[in-house]
Amino acid sequence: MSTNNNHLNHSLILIVLLLIAFATKSEQSKQIPALYVFGDSLVDSGNNHYLPGEYSQNFFPYGIDFGTPTGRCTNGKTVADFLAIYLGLPFAPAYLGLSRSKRNRIVTTGINYASAGSGILPDTSNKTSVIMDEQINGFERTIKEILPKGLSKEAVEKHVSESLFLVSSGVNDHFKNGTFRGSRKFASYLIKEFKIRLLDFA
Predicted confidence (pLDDT) per residue in 41-77, tens digit = 999 999 998 888 756 677 888 899 999 989 899 999 9
**Whether 168 contacts 12, CB under 8 Å:** no
Cβ atoms < 10 Å from Cβ of 190: 20
pLDDT at 54: 59
pLDDT at 55: 61
Look at residue 6 and tell me whether its pLDDT is greater than 50. Answer: no
pLDDT at 30: 61
Q: What's the angle, vertex CA 23, arms to CA 22 and CA 28, rounded to 5? A: 100
pLDDT digits (tens, 9 = 90+) for 156-200: 999 999 999 999 999 999 988 778 888 889 999 999 999 998 887
pLDDT at 29: 43
Section 116-130 average pLDDT: 90
Greater pLDDT, 26 or 83: 83
From residue 175, alpha-carbon distances to 1, 38, 180 in Å are: 11, 19, 5
Residue 79: which of 130, 127, 11 has the closest Cα? 11
Report the C-alpha gap between 2 and 202 in whole angstroms. 35
Instruction: Using the CB atoms, write b or e for 98-127: b if 16+ within 10 Å.
Output: beeeebeebbbbbbbbbbbbbbbbeebbee
